[in-house]
Structure 1
Amino acid sequence: MGIDPGLTRCGVGVVEGTLGRPPRLVAVGVVRTSTGLDLARRLLALEEGLAAWFDEYRPEAAGIERVFAQHNLNSVMDTAQASGVAAVSAARRGLPVTFHTPSEVKAAVTGSGTADKAQVTQMITRILRLAEAPRPADAADALAVAVTQIWRGGATNRYAAAVAAAKGKR
């Protein structure tokens, strides 16, 4: 499962596949929360929405797009909190969680870490052999994270484990 965290719209994409085989779309959508709710209720609504996705599709792992620095501090905080909710929801189910940077996701699906959203959407549409581009952009981004998780998730997890082990030996 790939997650493009957001507080108003959190993209969710479920893709089936293994390294060396073409990935296949299982499901895609967004979990929405109302801006009329207070922050705690929005985070709860997000967790409930993600829980429904995890429980219905039972993924083997979760890839989450890592929050990156933006000029709007409120937006960064909202996205970071949504990311934390997604990670906890996956971890509660015993799933391995990998955080992928936006440039890592772009590079995985387009070959360029500086690709724009339109290029990512175009390539994810091709990679998954979809008749039309997934909408909204959050959904397409979640699929890109899911494909990145399949293609690079294991390597990223092994690297993180090696770094952690090296720190533990100091």
Structure 2
Amino acid sequence: MANAYHTITIDLTLDRSTTKDVLHGVLHSILFHRLFGTIKPTTFEVLDVTLPGVVDPEMERLVKDKVDGFWRGVDNGRRRGQIVVTFSQKVEKKSWFTVGEELVPWEQWVINVDIRQRNDNDFHTFQASLANTLTKALQTMITHTSSERGRSAVPLITNATGISPFPIDIAVN
């Protein structure tokens, strides 16, 4: 069965020195475009690319924990990884003997990361390429969230408390 939710994929090739900053900025950018409560915006400068973000202690802690979790994998020698951000809605689930809630995803952002060894000869080429990739990732976010398809993916907002009426799950693979 095919997924009933939208999946947006962002592929990044990073080196060890830029991994934390780039992932921090990309995760904040996704949250900036998909949080629907009243937020305080901020920006992050990563390789001369300005990425939007959110000033919120809970979101900042969530992003930091997930980036640190990814970094532990890199420290253990992993060269590839994935961060998956899933936005869900709570749906009442009724069965014969129980009534409860289940989380039904409505959108998923998959960030594929490839860590490569950078040598000093191609430093400027690599930085320029990564800045271009970040710009394209930001364009993908803006294009998707402002498109008819991206707007129609968002379920009705029935709970207006907090900055996110929808549960957010960030998984590090």
Say yes or no: TM over 0.5: no
Answer 1 or 2: which has greater helix percent. 1
Answer 1 or 2: which has greater strand percent. 2
Q: Which has the higher contact order (CA 8 A, sep 6+)?
A: 2
TM-score, normalised by the number of residues in structure 1: 0.25
- Larger Rg, first or second structure (1 or 2): 2
TM-score, normalised by the number of residues in structure 2: 0.25
